[in-house]
Every structure is written in structure tokens, then in C-alpha cells.
Amino acid sequence: MPGADLGRGFTDEEIEETLERADVPYRRCDDVAATVAEALAEDRLVAWFQGRAEFGPRALGHRSLLAHPGREENLRRLNDVKGREQFRPVAPMVAAQRAADVFERGPLPSPYMLFVHDVRPDWRERLPAVTHVDGTARIQTVDPDDDPLTARVLAGFERRTGLPAVVNTSLNTAGRPIVDTPRDALECFGSGPVDVLAIGPYVVERGSAR
């Protein structure tokens, strides 16, 4: 199985048409990965809509909510966005080449977020948003050959923060399926306190003016 991104994808033109129809302020980025890495380093919540939708029960870097894993309060923030119970955990997305430095006692690579790993003791306090009370995390590894754009977000975030992982949870709210289309993404972004929507090469920021 070469990847879970087996669903629908949309061209830049289709995405821009949706943004224009919605009459929201947006801008096209020269490097959306760098823009998102900077936003995450600033502790902003990011809705990430890239490439084809994933087939399966969870987001794997194509329809995701991303956050800074070093801020314990981001677990509460994300559960508030998603409208779910505060005991619900979130998971880390980590660069495949860095995973063994941070996590142990589990199969690597682990690209589908299926297995629970131990967070190495010296990383647990550095990654409080994704470390469960028993010191574990259900990780997703990202290989730059398979998903170069998301891998560049991770690399850019690590350069800025020293952390090789980000929080990754599915882009949806309680009782609704994971976002599929650009319109779905805008509706989800507009329904909760998410700071940035990165959709294709375009960025929408909360509170920006036309």
C-alpha cells in the first residue's frame, strides 16, 4: 500500500474558485510549508488541506488540524475546536528519520498511526500535548519521499523550535466526517477557533480583511 491518499483531489484553480465564491480574504504563498511551520512555531492552530483526501478513519497529513506539541494546553484547544471530550488524546506526526530518536518500543516506520509507542523519557516533558498519561503516543511517521510537503513542514518546525514532531488530528468537528472538499474545509475553519487555513498554496487567516 503506497499511501492512504486515495480520495479526491482538487486543482489550485478549483480551490481558488471556492475561495473567491466564499468571498474570504486569502493569499497565495511562495512556500506554504514554510508559512505553516512559522505559524505552528508561533503556537497558532492550523487547518491543513493538501493533496488527495485519505481513505480511512484518520487524517495522515492531508486533511489535518496541526498544532505545537510542546504546549500542553493545545490538547484542550484542539478538543474545543472539535467539540469533543477533554480526555480524548491527540497524536504526533514525526519525521521518519527522527522517529527513533523520540519514540521506542513500537514498529518503525509507522505511517498509518496504528501503533502505540513509548515516548522516550527525555522527550515526555518536551511533547506534553501528545504524550499520554502512561508515557505513550500513537505516532505517524512522515517520509519525505512519500509526502515531501508535510515533511518540509516538520523540518521547518524543527528548525524553529527544536521539536521534530507536530500535533496531528483529523480536520473535522464532532459528529461530522473528515473534511473532503475545499468547501468543507472553509466550513470547518469558520466553525471554530482555528487561526490559519492552509489549502493548497493558499492561506486564509482568521481576522484578516479583504
Give tens-digit pLDDT for 42-94.
999 999 999 999 988 788 999 999 999 999 999 999 999 999 999 999 999 99
11 three-state secondary structure: coil
Check residue 209 and give its pLDDT.
47
CATH number belonging to domain 12-205: 3.90.870.20
**Burial class of 209 by CB neighbour count within 10 A (0 to 12, 13 to 18, 19+):** exposed
Helices (H) and strands (E) in the chain, counts: 7, 11
Domain ranges of the chain: 12-205
pTM: 0.96
Give tens-digit pLDDT for 146-183.
999 999 999 999 999 999 999 999 999 988 999 999 99
Least confident window among 29-33, 179-183, 206-210:
206-210
Structure-block grid coordinates of residue 204:
486564509
Q: Is the pLDDT of residue 96 over 90?
A: yes
State what percent of residues in the chain have pLDDT above 70: 99
The label of the residue with cell 511562495 reads 30
Q: How far is 37 from 158, CA to CA, in rounded Å? A: 8
Give tens-digit pLDDT for 115-138.
999 999 999 999 999 999 999 999
Q: Is the pLDDT of residue 1 over 80?
A: no
